[in-house]
């Protein structure tokens, strides 16, 4: 596990961008953490780093479930499972299939659906009770997709690393 500290929304954008630099087609990324933790903010920084066009405005897909951005170096599917009722509904979104075809998915509240989403990078964001602008962020992984890239990932986020 890698533990990071963000002190502003700009830092969250920057560290998301650093993570995006190590991401490749077929990566599933789960974003966990409560309301307002910064999952959508993370996605904004991540999408920009993939080169998603500024006029593809990145916003929360809470009501539409999935937004797809196709102008970056990898097709990006951004989902928010907060309102989904069952694992079957999550499966129906076809996120795993899209990822297996060569896309990347960022899935807010995806931790509840890991059985359907499969192997993934898990980014957990946590508010700080004493500092509105700070977040404690951890990176962990399910499966072996990241074994060969783990040290590169560690290097990419070194600026924000704290001892865990
Ligand atoms: N360090 C930080 N990282 C991310 N967001 C932050 C941070 N500090 C303050 N914020 C603010 O917290 C809010 C996070 O909202 P959002 O990304 O929509 O959360 P979520 O998608 O997890 O519900 C935004 O208004 C953002 O500006
Ligand atoms: Mg959100």
**Nearest-atom index, ligand 1, CA of 37:** 22
Q: How far is the CA of 148 from the centre of ligand 1 (A)?
A: 31
Q: What percent of the chain has a predicted confidence (pLDDT) above 70?
A: 98
| Residue 32 pLDDT | 97
pLDDT for residue 134 is more than 80: yes
d(CA 106, CA 77): 6
Q: What is the chain's alpha carbon radius of gyration, rounded to the nearest angstrom? A: 15
CATH code of residue 78 = 3.40.50.300
Environment class of 132 (CB within 10 Å of its CB; exposed 0-12, middle 13-18, buried 19+): exposed
What's the whole-number average pLDDT of the chain? Answer: 95
Q: Is the CB of 9 under 6 A from ligand 1?
A: yes
What total number of domains does the chain contain?
Answer: 1
CA distances from 69 to 21, 93, 96 (A): 17, 16, 16
pLDDT for residue 106 is more than 90: yes
pLDDT for residue 50 is more than 80: yes
Quote the domain boundaries for residue 64: 2-162
pLDDT confidence of 58, banded at 50, 70, 90? Answer: confident
For the stretch 75-100, pLDDT in tens is 999 999 998 889 999 999 999 999 99
Q: How far is the CA of 139 from the centre of ligand 2 (A)?
A: 18
**Mean pLDDT, range 121-131, rounded to an integer:** 97
User: Contact 66/36 with Cβ under 8 angstroms?
Assistant: no
pLDDT for residue 163 is more than 90: no
């Amino acid at each position: 596990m890698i533990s990071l500290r963000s002190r502003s929304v700009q830092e969250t954008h920057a560290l998301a961008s650093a993570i995006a630099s190590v991401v490749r087609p077929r990566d599933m990324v789960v974003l966990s953490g409560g309301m307002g933790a910064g999952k959508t903010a993370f996605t904004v920084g991540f999408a920009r780093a993939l080169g998603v066009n500024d006029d593809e405005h990145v916003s929360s897909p809470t009501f539409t479930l999935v937004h797809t951005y196709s102008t970056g170096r990898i097709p990006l599917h951004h989902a928010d499972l907060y309102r989904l009722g069952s694992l079957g509904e999550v499966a129906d979104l076809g996120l795993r299939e899209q990822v297996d075809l060569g896309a990347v998915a960022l899935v807010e509240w995806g931790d509840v659906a890991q059985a359907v989403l499969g192997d993934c990078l898990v980014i957990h964001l946590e508010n700080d009770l004493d500092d509105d602008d700070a977040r404690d962020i951890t990176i962990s992984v399910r499966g072996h997709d990241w074994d060969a890239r783990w040290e590169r990932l560690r290097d990419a986020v070194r600026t924000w690393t704290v001892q865990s």
